Amino acid sequence: MNGLLGDIETIRKRATHSKFFAVPGPPASGKKTSGPKLANRLTNCSYLCLDGVHLDNSILIEKGLRNRQESPTTSVVNGLAHLLQRLKKEKFYIPTYDRDKEHTINCACPIPGHDDLIIVEGNWLVFNELIWQDLKICWDPDGFRGNRPKIIETKTYKTLDRSRF
């Protein structure tokens, strides 16, 4: 992890404004463990988990999509893009997901005004659909870590039950 921390600090030194460092990966690949650890070991760094931008279970049930929970179709991608663009300009509270209660919580995690780096993790950051590809503008070319996008997408599909999509 020390090499990765050094890479992140190098990217940060070149930053003129808030930077996003993407940590993509298939389910159960350690993103939720490594993302917060990275953020905690870096100064002025926050953590954003994509689980908070999925539709809430009550909405999924109402729309008959409960079996598609955590799929690309139940993520609010436009909301994520807006959130990332807004975080470049100002700091505020971001949504999160409560696994025990199985619902999203709006404005639950503060992003302090002095934080100039945000670790963003999620399964679908590299999903090969146009709306997800539009998120590429949010990432600094050097601020994207993980396996190659095609490998991640393939592993993610294999990991999740395809009937959920």
The band of 8, judged by pLDDT with boundaries at 50, 70 and 90, is confident
**From start to end of 35-124, where are the E strands?**
45-49, 93-98, 103-110, 117-122
Q: What is the mean pLDDT of residues 68-76?
A: 77
Task: Return all residues near 79 (Cβ < 8 A) that are at least 6 apart.
Answer: 53
Q: What is the mean pLDDT of residues 148-162?
A: 39
> In the chain, where are the structural domains located?
2-164
Say which residue the tokens 């503008």 belong to.
137
Least confident among 16-20, 30-34, 152-156: 152-156
Say which residue the tokens 């404004």 belong to.
17
Query: Residue 156 corresponds to which amino acid?
Result: T
Residue 21 has φ and ψ, to the nearest 5°, of: -115, 110
CA distances from 32 to 2, 24, 26, 58, 59 (A): 18, 10, 11, 24, 24
Count the neighbouring beta carbons within 10 Å of the beta carbon of residue 50: 22
Q: pLDDT at position 91, please? A: 83
Nearest to 51, CA basis, from 91, 129, 104, 108: 104
The band of 16, judged by pLDDT with boundaries at 50, 70 and 90, is low
Distance from C-alpha of 95 to C-alpha of 85, rounded to nearest angstrom: 15
Q: pLDDT at position 64, please? A: 92
Under a CB-based contact definition with an 8 Å cutoff, are residues 23 and 121 in contact? yes
CATH of 2-164, one of 3.50.50.60, 3.40.50.300, 3.40.1010.20, 3.40.605.10: 3.40.50.300
Q: Which residue has the higher pLDDT, 82 or 154?
A: 82
Helices (H), 22-148: 31-41, 57-62, 77-89, 130-133
